[in-house]
């Protein structure tokens, strides 16, 4: 039983991109028509209906963060984002100073919109740069080049107090020097936050069918070590597997996921997790944008809704919490899952013995070894000890 409702976030999915990147396994769909034909207004109608249908589940709760993700949300006009945020504000209570993040890609026509997004109420921009090397960007199938990336970051730095640059490493043909150059380019803009993703080939992507030549494990490990050195020296803290921030600039929205807070997800393919006094529910919306729109404006867009079983909760909790380099307070396991500490006690002891979990009764936290072999550590929690 929970005395207090958990912190609540809102995720909004805008599903279209100019084209599909060959490594991408997100729910993103290439928009093949002219941009002015993007069905912005209808999609916003659908989001509004989706949100209204969900309101009874989050009645009276305050939303502490909003994240507009995609796809490429910056394909939407500033007027559309303004309407979206007005729709949200009129129906949900946003906490004072709520963080409102939006993802953007560095096409120049979008960068010109950044100031207007800020005016609409976006407080934080996350820019999908990936690399400053045109050859790498081409290998990743990105639609922008390094010059556009720089222009977009400059514009973001002018318009937003807080912004994030997404970079990828272990890219096709990338050398250690290439990564060093990418980092230097990013750091020149003094970003408050950096996300650094190791390129992985996911199933059902174009890269899975035609794998590019990738750096081997040794070079990848050297790259991670380089990241640690360069970003540490620049004052960044690695607070999650892929997230680095200057003090005070951590992404509150993502922290809420990793701390196993609640979130409502609206939009095509969006996922939500909501806790009630007696159960935790996960829900997913229809993925295909047109089907989502029709369903949201009709009988409802939820495709899947299920109670998370007690035997799944330890793994689900750890899957998030152990990504954080500081881990979480031990008490939050009970608070956020509703389970007794005994549900994980034996597995935690085994993980401590194997050197994967810190031996600290007040925190649940992976050791550096545990972070490196996170999948092995997580697998230990797949089989729960919980018994009814």
Between 269 and 370, name the residue whose CB sits nearer to ligand SF4.
Answer: 269
Residues 219, 221, 227, CA angle at the centre, nearest 5°? 105
For residue 345, how many C-alpha atoms fall within 13 Å in the half-sphere facing its CB?
8
Is position 70 an interface residue for ligand SF4 (rule: CB under 6 A)? yes
CA 384/CA 362 separation, integer angstroms: 21
Binders of ligand SF4 in range 263-282 (CB under 6 A)? none
Is position 148 an interface residue for ligand SF4 (rule: CB under 6 A)? no
At its nearest, how many Å lie between ligand SF4 and the CB of residue 101?
A: 15
The residues near 196 (Cβ < 8 Å, ≥ 6 apart) are 167, 168, 169, 227, 231, 242, 244
Site string for ligand SF4, 229-268 (x = CB under 6 A): ----------------------------------------
Give the tokens for residue 342: 């005994």
**Size, binding site for ligand SF4 by CB under 6 A:** 11
Is position 195 an interface residue for ligand SF4 (rule: CB under 6 A)? no
Between 22 and 370, name the residue whose CB sits nearer to ligand SF4.
Answer: 22
From 24-32, 118-126, 228-236, 295-303, span contacting ligand SF4 (CB under 6 A): 24-32
Between 70 and 267, name the residue whose CB sits nearer to ligand SF4.
Answer: 70
Is position 321 an interface residue for ligand SF4 (rule: CB under 6 A)? no
Count other C-beta atoms under 10 Å from residue 160's C-beta.
22
Between 105 and 347, name the residue whose CB sits nearer to ligand SF4.
Answer: 105
* Burial environment of residue 33 by CB neighbours within 10 A (0 to 12, 13 to 18, 19 or more): exposed
Is position 21 an interface residue for ligand SF4 (rule: CB under 6 A)? yes
Q: Give me Rg for the CA atoms of the chain.
A: 21
The residues near 288 (Cβ < 8 Å, ≥ 6 apart) are 29, 268
Chain contacts with ligand SF4 (rule: CB under 6 A): 17, 20-21, 24, 26, 28, 70-72, 105, 128
């Amino acid at each position: 039983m929970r005395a207090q409702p958990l912190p609540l976030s809102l995720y909004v999915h805008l599903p279209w991109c100019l084209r599909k990147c060959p490594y991408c396994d997100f729910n993103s769909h290439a928009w093949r028509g002219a941009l002015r034909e993007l069905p912005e207004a209808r999609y916003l109608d659908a989001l509004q209906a989706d949100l209204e249908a969900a309101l009874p589940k989050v009645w009276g709760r305050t939303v502490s963060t909003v994240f507009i993700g995609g796809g490429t949300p910056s394909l939407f006009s500033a007027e559309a984002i303004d309407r979206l945020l007005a729709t949200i504000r009129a129906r949900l209570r946003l906490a004072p100073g709520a963080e409102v993040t939006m993802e953007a890609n560095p096409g120049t026509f979008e960068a010109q919109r950044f100031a207007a997004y800020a005016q609409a109420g976006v407080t934080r921009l996350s820019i999908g740069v990936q690399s400053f090397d045109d050859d790498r960007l081409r290998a990743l199938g990105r639609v922008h080049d390094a010059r556009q990336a720089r222009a977009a970051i400059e514009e973001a730095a002018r318009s937003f107090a807080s912004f994030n640059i997404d970079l990828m490493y272990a890219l096709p043909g990338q050398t250690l020097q290439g990564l060093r150059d990418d980092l230097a380019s990013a750091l020149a803009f003094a970003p408050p936050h950096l996300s650094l993703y190791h390129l992985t080939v996911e199933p059902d992507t174009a890269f899975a069918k035609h794998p590019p030549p990738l750096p081997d494990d040794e070079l990848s490990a050297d790259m991670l070590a380089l990241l640690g050195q360069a970003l540490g020296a620049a004052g960044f803290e690695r607070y999650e597997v892929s997230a680095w921030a200057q003090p005070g600039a951590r992404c509150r929205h993502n922290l809420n996921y990793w701390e196993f807070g609640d979130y409502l997800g609206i939009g095509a393919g969006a996922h939500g997790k909501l806790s009630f006094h007696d159960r935790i529910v996960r829900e997913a919306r229809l993925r295909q944008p047109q089907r989502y729109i029709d369903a949201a404006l009709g009988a409802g867009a939820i495709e899947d809704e299920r109670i998370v079983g007690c035997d799944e909760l330890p793994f689900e909790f750890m899957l998030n919490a152990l990504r954080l380099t500081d881990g979480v307070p031990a008490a939050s396991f009970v608070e956020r899952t509703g389970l007794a500490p005994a549900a994980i006690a034996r597995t935690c002891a085994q993980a401590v013995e194997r050197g994967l979990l810190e031996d600290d009764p007040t925190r649940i936290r992976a050791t550096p070894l545990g972070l490196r072999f996170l999948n092995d550590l997580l697998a230990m929690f797949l089989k729960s000890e919980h018994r009814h």
